[in-house]
């Protein structure tokens, strides 16, 4: 086997570990906590299905790739809960170190390609990054809503915190933010938030 293929297969096996990184969000219907790989897959499919609601025209392939790779770094950096302000202080440093380490398993050209895509997602400047972030926010919100807001209740999350996170949804999709807003308002009326 040549060196390039060996590196690609080693990376493919390494990223299987993403299935072992569990998030705070539970699967719909009061299921178990979802893992990072399920979250990424779900976001990518949602991006494809909901692409017509992006504020700007997007390269959907780039968006889907961002969705699929954005949490690979959590194999080493661990999951940082969206509302854990203490863990967020070290998140960038942990994820940058993991990004370099994990993507270095790949051939150099693919390493640079995926790092650039990850960095584009994190920089949140392009229409693709903004829409991918909208998916990253909407996906757990939909799951949490399907569970009666159980994850919000468990972590005593406030409506203000949820709105603070959902600002990025609006920048990627005004239409999907309207849906988000309706879900948040419904949970406020129910006393969940």
**Given a cut of 90, is residue 79 above it in pLDDT?**
no
Q: Predicted confidence band at 85 (pLDDT cuts at 50, 70, 90)?
A: confident
pLDDT digits 0-9 by tens, 135-145: 999 999 999 99
Ranking 50-59, 90-99, 108-117 by mean pLDDT, the lowest is 90-99
**CA angle at 89 for the pair 84 and 90, rounded to the nearest 5°:** 110
- Which whole number is the average pLDDT over 25-38? 91
pTM: 0.94
Contacts of 157 (CB under 8 A, 6+ apart): 83, 151, 193
Nearest to 156 by CA among 89, 84, 76, 75: 84
d(CA 166, CA 139): 11
Cβ distance 129 to 120 under 8 Å? yes
Buried b (16+ CB within 10 A) or exposed e, 35-68: bbbbbbebbbebbeebbebbbeebeeebbbbbbb
Calculate the average pLDDT of the chain. 94
């Amino acid at each position: 086997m040549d060196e390039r293929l060996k590196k690609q297969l080693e990376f493919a096996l390494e990223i299987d570990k993403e299935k072992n990184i569990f998030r705070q969000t539970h699967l719909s219907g009061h299921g178990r906590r979802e893992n990072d790989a399920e979250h990424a897959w779900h976001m990518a499919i949602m991006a494809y299905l909901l692409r017509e609601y992006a504020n700007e025209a997007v390269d959907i392939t780039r968006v889907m790739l961002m969705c699929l790779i954005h949490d690979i770094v959590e194999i080493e950096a661990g999951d940082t809960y969206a509302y854990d302000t203490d863990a967020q202080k070290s998140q960038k440093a942990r994820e940058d170190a993991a990004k370099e380490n994990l993507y270095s398993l790949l051939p150099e050209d693919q390493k640079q390609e995926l790092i650039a895509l990850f960095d584009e997602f994190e920089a949140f400047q392009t229409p693709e990054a903004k829409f991918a972030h909208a998916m990253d926010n909407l996906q757990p919100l939909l799951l949490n809503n399907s569970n009666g807001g159980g994850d919000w209740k468990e972590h005593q999350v406030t409506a203000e915190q949820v709105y603070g996170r959902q600002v990025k949804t609006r920048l990627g999709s005004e239409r999907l933010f309207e849906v988000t807003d309706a879900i948040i308002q419904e949970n406020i009326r129910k006393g969940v938030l």
